[in-house]
Amino acid sequence: MKGLRFTIRRKIMWGFLAIIIIFTVNATYSVLTIYKGNQIIKQSQEVINPITAAVNDFIFLVTRSKMLITNWVYLQTNEEDKDALRAIHDHEYLEVKNRIQEYAQKLPREGEILLLDSAFIKFEELLDIEKNIMTDLNVFEDYEDPIKKFMAEEAIESEVLPRSAELITMLESVNNYLSRQKAETDTGLMQNFKQLISTTAIMAVVLLIIGIILAFSISRIITRPINYLRSIIDRLGKGDLVKIDKSKFKNDEIGDMANSLSAMAEGFGEITDFAENIGKGQYDSEFKPLSENDMLGNALLEMRANLKKVAEEDKKRNWSTSGLAKFGEILRKYNDNFEKLADEIISNLIKYMGANQGALFIIDSNSVGTEDEYMELAACYAWDKKKYLEKKIFKGEGLTGQAWIEGDVIYLTEVPNDYIVITSGLGEANPKSILIVPLKVNDEVHGVIEMASFKEYEDYEIEFVERIAESIASTISSVKVNERTQKLLEESTLMTEQMRAQEEEMRQNMEELQATQEKIRRDQLDRESRERIVLSDTVMFELSKSFVIRSTNDKIKDIFGFAPAELEGKMFKDIMVNSAELSKIQNNATTETYWNGVLKMKHRDGREMKVLISAGQVPDSINNDLMYVIYVRDFTKYIKDEK
C-alpha cells in the first residue's frame, strides 16, 4: 500500500469512474422504469381498452336482444327486427364472445373477470328462451293462437326482462372492474414517473457528494475550478439545474470533466422538464435526445408517443361516446314528433360536428315503390338560422340522390364552386368539405344527411356520423311501423263497427227469415197433408218434355203393378194401349191449361185399364225447361164399385 499513491489523475479517474457507474445505474434504472411504463401502456392499449370496448358491445348486444325479442312478440310484421335478432343468434354474439375471450386470456383470472364465463352462460340461456319464443311465434297463424301469444308474453315478462337486467348488471360490474384496472394502471404509470424523477434527484445528490470528495483530494493548483465545480454540483443537488461557465476551465482533464458535468446537468434539466410536462399531460413538449444512443432520451420519446396516442384515442372515444349518448337522448325524447325530431337532430349534429350547413332528407313513404320515388327535405340548418324550404330529391339526382342509390357515404374535399355556398353576414364562400351519409339500417335507406363545412373531417368523425345516421334510420323505421300499426288499428276499429252494424242487420234479417221459414214450413206441411189426401189413390208421373218418365210415386205399385225404378227412363207411351192418344196431352196440356180425360193403359200383367188423366206443364228447374206432371187414377176401380 506504501507504493500506491493517489494522484490527482487517479483521483479524477476513479471519481469519474464512480460518476459513470452511478450514471449508468441511473440510466439503467430509468430505462427499466420507462420500459415498465411502456409495458403498462401496452397492457392498457392492447388488452384493457379492447376488452372494455368488447364488454360495452356485449352490453349493447344484450340490450338489443331484449328489444328485438320484445318486438318479435308485440310487432309481428316487423321483419327487419326479426332479421336483426336472427343475426344476433347466428353470428353477432359469437363474434363478441370470441373477442372478449381473446382479450380475457391476457388478464389474470381474478375479480370480476371470472363473471364473464357466467355472463356467457346466462346469455346463452337467454338465447335459448328467445329461440323458444321465436319457434312458437314463427308464422302469422302462431300470433293468432292466444295460448302461444300469452306464453310468449309471459316469457318476456318473467324470463327475458329479468334475466337481461341481471346480465347487464353483471356486465356493468365487469366494466367497472376494468375501469378500476385502467385507473390503477394509470396510477402505477404516474408512480413510475415520480420514482424516475426521485431517482434522478438522488443520483444528482450522489454525484454532488462524489464531487465534494474529489474537490478535497485535488491540489491547490486546481482548487478554484474544483471549488467552482463543487458549487455547481451543490446547486445541482438542490435541484437548481444551472448552466456551467466553461470559460473558467482550461482544455484539460478538469475542463473535460466540467464539460461532461455541464452536458449531464443540461441533460438532467431537459429530462426533468420533459418528464414533468408528460406528467402534466403536455405531450407536445419538445425534447431532443443527447445522441442516437441516448437510451433514456429515446425511451422517453417512445413513452411520450405511446401516451399521446392513448390520450388521443381516449379523447376521440369519449367524444364519440358523449355524442352517441346525446343524440340517443334526442331520439328518445322526440320520437313521437317527427318534425321536432328532425329539427333537433340536424341542428345539434351541425353544432356538434363543427359544420356550417346541413340538411336532413327523408324518403316519402307514399312514393316508395313507384317510378317517381323521392326524398323530401325534413329539416335544415345554416348559421344558427332555420330556413324552411320545400325541396325534393329523386333517386340518382345529384350527389344526394347518388348516395341514396349506393347506400354509401360520399365525402368530398374538392367542392365545385357551383355546388353550394355558405353565407354569413360578412359574405359568402365555398365549403372545404361535403359529407353525405345515408340513413341506413339493415341495408334499407330511409333518408340522407348532408353537411357542408369549412373544415375537413377525420375518419372517426365520419364514422360517428354513420353511427348516428344508423340510429336515426332505426328510429324512423320504428316511427313508420308505429304509424302503420296505428292506421291498421283505426281501420280495424272502423271495420269492427261496420261488422257490428252488419251483424245487427243480419240478426234482424235472420229473425225475418226464420219467421218466413216457419210460415213456409207450416204451408208445406199443410200442402203435404193435402197432397197425401189427394195422392192416396193417385199415381203421379214426372215426364220430360219428350215424355220420358223421370220419376213416379209408390202408388204405381198398387195400381199398375210396377215398381217405381222399373219405369224410370222409359217412354210414357210404352205403358199406353194406344200411343196415338199421347198427342191429346201434348196438344192440350200447357202451363196455363190442364187436360183431363180417360185413357187406356197397360197393367204389368198385360191387361188393359181405363184411367182418369189430369196433365199439365210446370217449370223444370234442373234443365231450365218445362216438364209434364200427370196424375193418374184407376177409373176401372170406380166402374167396378158402381156395378
pLDDT in tens, 82-101: 888 888 888 888 888 888 88
Using CA atoms, how far apart are residues 304 and 320, in angstroms rounded to an integer?
24
Whether residue 16 sits in one domain with residue 126: yes
The whole-number average pLDDT for the span 143-148 is 83
In a domain, 268, yes or no: yes
Using CA atoms, how far apart are residues 555 and 559, in angstroms rounded to an integer?
7
Q: Are the C-beta atoms of 452 and 431 separated by less than 8 Å?
A: yes
- Write the DSSP assignment of 487-552 as a string of letters: HHHHHHHHHHHHHHHHHHHHHHHHHHHHHHHHHHHHHHHHHHHHHHHHGGGEEEEEE-TT-BEEEE
pLDDT over 70 percentage in the chain: 74
Using CA atoms, how far apart are residues 532 and 79, in angstroms rounded to an integer?
69
Strands 392-394, 410-412: pairing kind: unpaired
Is the predicted pLDDT of residue 5 greater than 60, yes or no?
no
HSE, CB side, 13 Å, CA atoms: give it for residue 521.
6
In a domain, 348, yes or no: yes
Whether residue 137 sits in one domain with residue 47: yes
Q: Helix crossing, 93-104 with 49-74: angle to 10°?
A: 160
Using CA atoms, how far apart are residues 291 and 274, in angstroms rounded to an integer?
16
Q: Are the C-beta atoms of 168 and 63 separated by less than 8 Å?
A: yes
Enumerate the β-bridge partners of residue 551: 542
Whether residue 357 sits in one domain with residue 301: no
Whether residue 303 sits in one domain with residue 244: yes
Q: What is the pLDDT of residue 286?
A: 67
Question: pLDDT tens-digit profile of 262-308?
Answer: 666 666 666 666 666 766 666 566 666 666 666 766 776 677 667 76
Using CA atoms, how far apart are residues 448 and 391, in angstroms rounded to an integer?
13
In a domain, 111, yes or no: yes
Write out the three cell numbers for 12: 479524477
Helix (H) or strand (E) holding 404: helix 398-406
Whether residue 396 sits in one domain with residue 361: yes
Look at residue 289 and give its three-state secondary structure.
coil
Q: What is the pLDDT of residue 354?
A: 83
Whether residue 305 sits in one domain with residue 343: no
In a domain, 509, yes or no: no
Using CA atoms, how far apart are residues 35 and 586, in angstroms rounded to an integer?
127
Is the predicted pLDDT of residue 527 greater than 80, yes or no?
no
Helix (H) or strand (E) holding 402: helix 398-406
Q: Are the C-beta atoms of 609 and 638 separated by less than 8 Å?
A: no
Number of other CB atoms surrounding residue 232 within 10 Å: 21
Whether residue 292 sits in one domain with residue 397: no
Q: What is the CATH number of the domain that holds 423?
A: 3.30.450.40
Is the predicted pLDDT of residue 386 greater than 50, yes or no?
no
Question: pLDDT tens-digit profile of 189-211?
Answer: 777 777 777 777 777 777 777 76
Which of the listed residues 284, 316, 348 is the one where a domain comes to its end? Answer: 316
Which of the listed residues 251, 284, 316 is the one where a domain comes to its end? Answer: 316
Using CA atoms, how far apart are residues 517 and 369, in angstroms rounded to an integer?
53
Look at residue 433 and give its three-state secondary structure.
strand
Q: What is the CATH number of the domain that holds 590?
A: 3.30.450.20
Q: What is the pLDDT of residue 332?
A: 83
Whether residue 220 sits in one domain with residue 364: no
- Among 176, 16, 41, which Cα is nearest to 112's? 176
Residue position matching grid coordinates 388478464: 107
The residues, any chain, with a CB within 8 Å of residue 513's CB and separated by 6 or more, are none
Q: Are the C-beta atoms of 214 and 19 separated by less than 8 Å?
A: no
Whether residue 305 sits in one domain with residue 339: no
Whether residue 123 sits in one domain with residue 196: yes
Whether residue 193 sits in one domain with residue 136: yes
**Residue 132, class by beta-carbon neighbours within 10 Å (0-12 exposed, 13-18 middle, 19+ buried)?**
middle
In a domain, 193, yes or no: yes
- Among 413, 419, 426, 417, which Cα is nearest to 383's? 426
Q: What is the pLDDT of residue 531?
A: 60
Least confidently predicted of 39-43, 48-52, 565-569: 39-43
Question: What are φ and ψ of residue 251, in 5° steps?
Answer: -85, 70
In a domain, 108, yes or no: yes
Whether residue 553 sits in one domain with residue 418: no
Enumerate the β-bridge partners of residue 381: 358
Query: How many folded domains does the chain comprise?
Result: 3
Q: What is the pLDDT of residue 384?
A: 38
Q: Are the C-beta atoms of 411 and 433 separated by less than 8 Å?
A: yes
In a domain, 450, yes or no: yes
Which of the listed residues 316, 349, 382 is the one where a domain comes to its end? Answer: 316
Least confidently predicted of 70-74, 183-187, 496-500, 592-596: 183-187
Task: Give the domain range for residue 575.
Answer: 544-642
Per the rule left: phi > 0, alpha: psi between -120 and 50, beta: everything else, 638 is alpha
In a domain, 500, yes or no: no
